[in-house]
């Protein structure tokens, strides 16, 4: 990225902060997330002090967004439990790169820790794609019973051969479609260009609905909506609000198709270089930060929904018959997955 473009991105971010922050209740709208495009702003290297081990944790969200609050709680616990010997510095706003490149850097050991969404993790192991199967999880309780049980552990474990230690899951609510044109039912999505995460299951899903998937970095979505390069995207209440996408795509089709959670990761190279005692601190701190993040999520999700409703966005809840139609339409995704990972879907369905 050229210096002038980078300067312009920073200028835009500052402009948004100055103009939009006042009057925004407790939660912050970050609008175009200009820094999220993987246009790294030279992040300072951590400086170890007094023999302390210092690590970097990458996140593509802004300072007070719930996953980043979870990261910080994790970092706080690690520092406290190690008596200050381990320090994790959280780098928000994608300053260390977009999600896909952060995942690759974690695999190589260039970044020590990261919080990313589970959808792009299918590039490490396609088994994670089970978390992106529309309507597999009946509700949030069902998802969390799976994530906090043996299947959740098994999925984290499957990242190991890819050089990643999966530490914990964070909440990310349910994703729904939002568009610039009215969509009242599932056939309204036909032929629309819908931005998707860089993740095969999402592209397959959109194609089966008769729409065109447009894989884009998260940070590019705002500009693409603005330039009419896409007709819509899909995400949870908090993302829809915080990114400011709700100002450009006014129709939220509340279909809650997936609940793909966030994942806290470590580079296996980093973890394996540490003594057992430190590994244990990292593992337990990650798990113990989950409750805190889930609480922060609940509050933010509710506040975001309120702000969106107040803004006059048009919200249409999916009908039961449309839900059934989607379930029938996506049967090939389930079949493909079932062939590869026998019983996994059944075991998830059987989980209370």
Catalog residues that contact ligand GTR under the rule CB under 6 A.
60, 67, 99, 116-117, 172, 197, 218, 235-236, 239, 262
Compare residues 68 and 86 and give the one whose CB is closer to ligand GTR: 68
Q: Is 131 exposed, middle or buried (0-12, 13-18, 19+ CB in 10 A)?
A: buried
Shortest approach of ligand GTR to residue 252 CB, angstroms? 14
Compare residues 216 and 281 and give the one whose CB is closer to ligand GTR: 216
Compare residues 197 and 268 and give the one whose CB is closer to ligand GTR: 197
Compare residues 27 and 86 and give the one whose CB is closer to ligand GTR: 27
Q: What are phi and psi of 84, to 5 degrees?
A: 85, 0
- Rounded CA gap, 7 and 159, in Å? 37
Compare residues 263 and 281 and give the one whose CB is closer to ligand GTR: 263
Shortest approach of ligand GTR to residue 33 CB, angstroms? 10
Shortest approach of ligand GTR to residue 273 CB, angstroms? 27
Number of Cβ within 10 Å of residue 184's Cβ equals 13
User: Could you tell me the CA-to-CA distances from 184 to 230, 253, 330 in Å, in that order?
Assistant: 18, 7, 19
Compare residues 94 and 281 and give the one whose CB is closer to ligand GTR: 94
Q: Is 29 exposed, middle or buried (0-12, 13-18, 19+ CB in 10 A)?
A: buried
Number of Cβ within 10 Å of residue 275's Cβ equals 7
Shortest approach of ligand GTR to residue 172 CB, angstroms? 5
Contacts of residue 261, Cβ cutoff 8 Å, sequence gap at least 6: 117, 118, 131, 143, 147, 169, 170, 171, 172
Shortest approach of ligand GTR to residue 150 CB, angstroms? 25
Number of Cβ within 10 Å of residue 141's Cβ equals 10
Shortest approach of ligand GTR to residue 70 CB, angstroms? 11
Are 182 and 189 contacting, i.e. CB atoms less than 8 angstroms apart? no
């Amino acid at each position: 990225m050229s210096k002038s473009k980078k300067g312009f991105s920073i200028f835009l971010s500052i402009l948004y902060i100055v103009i939009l922050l006042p009057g925004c209740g407790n939660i912050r709208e970050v609008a175009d997330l200009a820094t999220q495009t993987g246009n790294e702003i030279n992040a300072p290297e951590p400086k170890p002090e007094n023999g302390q081990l210092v690590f970097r944790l990458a996140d593509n969200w802004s300072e007070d967004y719930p996953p980043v609050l979870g990261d910080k709680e994790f970092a706080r616990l690690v520092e406290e439990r190690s008596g200050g010997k381990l320090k994790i510095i959280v780098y928000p706003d994608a300053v260390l790169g977009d999600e896909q490149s952060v995942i690759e850097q974690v695999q190589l050991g260039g970044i020590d820790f990261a919080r990313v969404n589970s959808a792009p993790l299918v590039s490490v192991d396609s088994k994670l794609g089970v978390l992106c199967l529309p309507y597999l999880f009946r509700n949030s309780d069902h998802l969390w019973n799976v994530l906090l049980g043996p299947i959740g552990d098994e999925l984290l474990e499957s990242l190991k051969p890819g050089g990643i230690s999966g530490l914990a899951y964070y909440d990310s609510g349910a994703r729904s479609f939002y568009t610039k044109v009215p969509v009242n039912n599932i056939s309204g999505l036909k032929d629309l260009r819908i931005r998707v995460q860089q993740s095969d299951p999402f592209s397959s899903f959109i194609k089966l609905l008769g729409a065109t998937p447009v894989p884009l970095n998260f940070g590019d979505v705002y500009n693409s909506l603005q330039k009419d390069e896409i007709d819509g995207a899909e995400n949870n209440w908090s993302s829809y609000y915080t990114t400011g996408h709700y100002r450009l795509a006014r129709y939220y089709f509340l279909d809650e198709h997936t609940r793909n959670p966030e994942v806290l990761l470590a580079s296996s190279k980093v973890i394996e270089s540490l003594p057992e005692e430190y590994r244990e601190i990292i593992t337990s701190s990650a798990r113990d930060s989950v409750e805190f993040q889930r609480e922060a999520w609940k509050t933010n999700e509710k506040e975001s929904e309120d702000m969106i409703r107040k803004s006059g966005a048009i919200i249409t809840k999916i009908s039961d018959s449309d839900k059934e139609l989607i379930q029938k339409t996506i049967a090939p995704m389930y079949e493909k997955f079932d062939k590869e990972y026998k019983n996994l879907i059944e075991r998830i369905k059987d989980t209370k």
